[in-house]
A = this chain, B = another copy of it.
Amino acid sequence: MKPVGIIHSPYKQRREARSRTNRSETISRIEVFEEFEEGLRDIEGFSHIIIIYWFHKSYGYSLLVKTPWDDALHGLFTTRSPDRPCPLGLTVAELVAREKNILTVKGLDAIDGTPLLDIKPYVVPIDERSVVKAGWFEGKLGKGKR
């Protein structure tokens, strides 16, 4: 698994990113390595993209975790904790601009230097579901899209 780019972000430490996971307005720059630039053709036609990245500052994990939202212990796979067996991060971000191999995005809370693994188009009929149950998140983050 070789990264396809690197994320440049104002966040230098984990705790800065962690406290801002809801409705972030943060601007980040995604540098896609030049050898992959051709794979970005026409990406500027999309207002939102899915970013998959490596939580490279994750060391170990617990199967039950506390989150910033309440005091209960939750199953790790019901949380977005960066400390996971496969430390993969996933964010749907707004694509603000593209300049060659550099994408400027809003709403990505990865820390500076995070390895980029993949970019996918965000497509409503593929990626959105009519959710009926949000588990322990219910009522914690509001109901609407951001």
Q: Which residues of A contact B (CB under 8 A)?
A: 1-4, 21-23, 32, 36, 38-43, 45-50, 52, 63-64, 73-80, 84-86, 88, 90, 92, 94, 117-138, 141-146
Contacts and interface: CB of A to CB of B under 8 A. Distances in A.
Contacts of A63: 36, 38-39, 41
A77 B30 CA distance: 13
B36 A121 contact: no
A145 to B, nearest CB: 4
B124 A131 contact: yes
Contact of A39 (B42, B75, B80): B75
Nearest to A84: B118
14 contacts: A23-B125, A38-B63, A38-B64, A41-B63, A46-B78, A46-B133, A46-B134, A47-B131, A50-B90, A77-B118, A92-B127, A92-B129, A124-B145, A125-B146
Contact of A52 (B49, B86, B134): B86
Given A52-B86, A75-B40, A86-B52, A80 B141 contact: no
